[in-house]
Amino acid sequence: MAEAVAVAAAEGDRSENAEYTYSKMKLGRIHGKLRFLGNRLKALTVVPQPPPDDGRVHFGSWVTLEDDDGEQYVYRIVGPDETSIEGGQISAESPMAHALLGRTLDDEIVVERPRGDLHATIVEICSSPPGR
């Protein structure tokens, strides 16, 4: 990207050079993203051990829920930078995680959602993915 800025700058008058302006703007966004990621890396904490297996939901726990219709959902509580809806990994800062943290097997939870409250029961708590 820096090379693209240099090439565009060599084309002459920078005040009317759209390619230079665009390249410079794009380079600024890249630098901003790198600064953001660098600051995130400084703030991250690696948790080397699995969550305690004491029957309670902790950060890092895998939790299986069953709703009123008998549908089951599996979630893992992770940090905000690790969330993945497809992988069932929810942020510890999410309303779902807040409803789950500290709960035990067979506890009923209610999570307020825009499309209606979710009523579910905790049917399994694991420190590794269920089925392993």
User: For residue 83, what are the contacts with CB-CB under 8 A and spacing of at least 6?
Assistant: 89, 90, 91, 94
Q: Which of 3-12, 58-67, 93-102, 115-124 has the lowest mean pLDDT?
A: 3-12
The DSSP 8-state label assigned to residue 1 in this structure reads: -
Q: How many helices (H) and strands (E) does the chain have?
A: 3, 5
CATH code matching the domain that covers 62-126, chosen among 3.30.1450.10, 3.10.50.30, 1.10.275.30, 3.40.50.300: 3.10.50.30
- Confidence grade of residue 8 (pLDDT, cut at 50, 70, 90): low
> What confidence tens digit (pLDDT) does each residue in 32-78 have?
999 998 988 887 777 778 788 889 999 999 999 999 999 999 999 99
pLDDT at res. 23: 81
pLDDT at res. 21: 78
User: For residue 103, what are the contacts with CB-CB under 8 A and spacing of at least 6?
Assistant: 56, 57, 109, 122
Phi then psi dihedrals of residue 99, to 5 deg = -70, -25
pLDDT at res. 62: 95
What stretch(es) of the chain map to CATH 3.10.50.30?
Answer: 62-126
In whole angstroms, give the CA distance from residue 105 to residue 125.
7
Q: Is pLDDT above 70 for 130?
A: yes
Biggest alpha carbon distance in the chain?
71
pLDDT at res. 12: 63
pLDDT at res. 113: 87
| Average pLDDT of the chain, as a whole number | 87
Radius of gyration of the chain (CA): 23
The percentage of residues in the chain with a pLDDT greater than 70, rounded to a whole number, is 87
